[in-house]
Amino acid sequence: MTQKSTASPRWSATTKLLIGLVVLGIFTFLIYRFSNMVGPLLMIFIITYLLHPLNALIARGLRIPWKASVNILFLLIVIILVGLLTLGGVGLAGQIQNLVGSIQGIVNDLPRYITQLSSQTFTIGPYELDMRTFDLTAINQQLLTYIEPLLGQTGNLLGTVAGSAAGFIGWTIFVLTVSYFVMAESSGLREDMLKVEIPGFTEDIRRLGVELSRIWNAFLRGQILIFFIALVIYSILLPALSVRYALGIALMAGLAKFLPYVGPAITWVVMALVTYFQPFKPFGLESLPYMLIVVISTSIIDWFMDNFITPRIMARTLKVHPAAVLVAALVAANLLGLLGVIIAAPFLATALLLGRYITRKMFDLNPFPPTTVEPPPPGIREIMMNLVHFIGSRFNTNRNTIKPIKEKKNEQPAKRHANRNDR
């Protein structure tokens, strides 16, 4: 006797809406209840996304299985982390703690310093600056109004980085462990790390995945590379200028690249205060000239990186306004802390992409309109070649305007000789 197979009944629109709202409520409750897990989970996603191509390269180059290459890669990561913590971790944490304490002390004594400054005279070469001609009382109040909250947030941020070493190590072990298992079970396919299948929307999901991959790939790899470039440059320049807490300020300058406008401003203010009030001044300089040399030098480096290095690496992939990134970073910092500042730009670009997709779908428009590819900004070599070409063209123009005059001078004896022959 055969048993009839009955098809699963379809859900009505009301049931689908109810189930959707319940799932959304549970998801929102879990995020609220375990909000401290959001940051580490995002870090797991970022690490696995960044390491996936590198692990694929190791597997192809050594011709070994995927899991064997994962083991080799994470073993190298653990060795590097242990080496960094052993060699520089303790010194860096100590420098950051001393930097925070020094900045807080300077801010507390800022009214006294400004009072002393108002009675001094500075000589810079042939110029003399008499501070007694300025009324620094109003300036003192304005500085305290703006600098205290700014440096207070900086001190809290650096204090969190330096003071939570035990928690940082624990979360690092958790993130690396989960990342290892995610990569080991992905079987070498990036699509296996996160699968979303919705009937009828396969192509839309694929296109969104391509766009999201382009955004996060360009930002994460590009911004992390910019962070390390700034860290290396400042780690060499600041000790060469004998700046106190050079490693701590170099770390701050690298992190400032994630925060437009405000990040570099905080770094310049901290460097100005540290260099002005540090007891030892190299090269026999006074406080004000030494501070100006350091701040101007670092400002030139930031200008060079922002105008030449960053555009070449990022290639305008995110296409979001820096002011919008700044607002997003301030909001994300309250939600996720330091990680929110780091991922503010790609998070904003992702929100704009999804918002544009939803809006165009609601108005029955093509969710993926054709886009024009913008050419990359010119590099240093192209700028120098254009400058040489411009100077050469101007020189040739001037030479061509002078040449006919010389020819006319040479033509005069020839005309006189012709007139003599006619006679």
Question: Residue 65: pLDDT above 50?
Answer: yes
How much is the pLDDT for 75? 92
How much is the pLDDT for 187? 66
Distances (CA, A) of 67 to 74, 186, 263: 11, 9, 40
First-to-last alpha carbon distance for the chain, in angstroms, is 137
Q: d(Cα 218, Cα 212) in Å, to the nearest integer?
A: 10
Q: d(Cα 252, Cα 245) in Å, to the nearest integer?
A: 11
Q: What is the pTM of this model?
A: 0.66
Chain-centroid distance, C-alpha 315: 13
Question: Residue 281: pLDDT above 80?
Answer: yes
Burial of 228-267, coded b for 16+ CB within 10 Å and e otherwise, reads ebbbebbbebbeebbbbbbbbbbbbbbbbbbbbeebbebb
Residue 194 DSSP label: S
The rounded mean pLDDT for the chain is: 75
SS3 189: coil
SS3 200: coil
pLDDT tens column, 94-146 = 666 677 777 777 767 766 776 776 677 766 667 777 776 766 666 666 666 65
Q: Is 11 left (phi over 0), alpha (psi -120 to 50) or beta?
A: beta
Contacts of 106 (CB under 8 A, 6+ apart): 113, 273, 274, 277
Q: d(Cα 193, Cα 187) in Å, to the nearest integer?
A: 9
pLDDT tens column, 152-207 = 555 555 555 544 555 667 777 888 888 888 888 776 555 555 566 677 777 888 88
Question: Residue 408: pLDDT above 50?
Answer: no
Check residues 156 and 248 and name the one with the higher pLDDT.
248
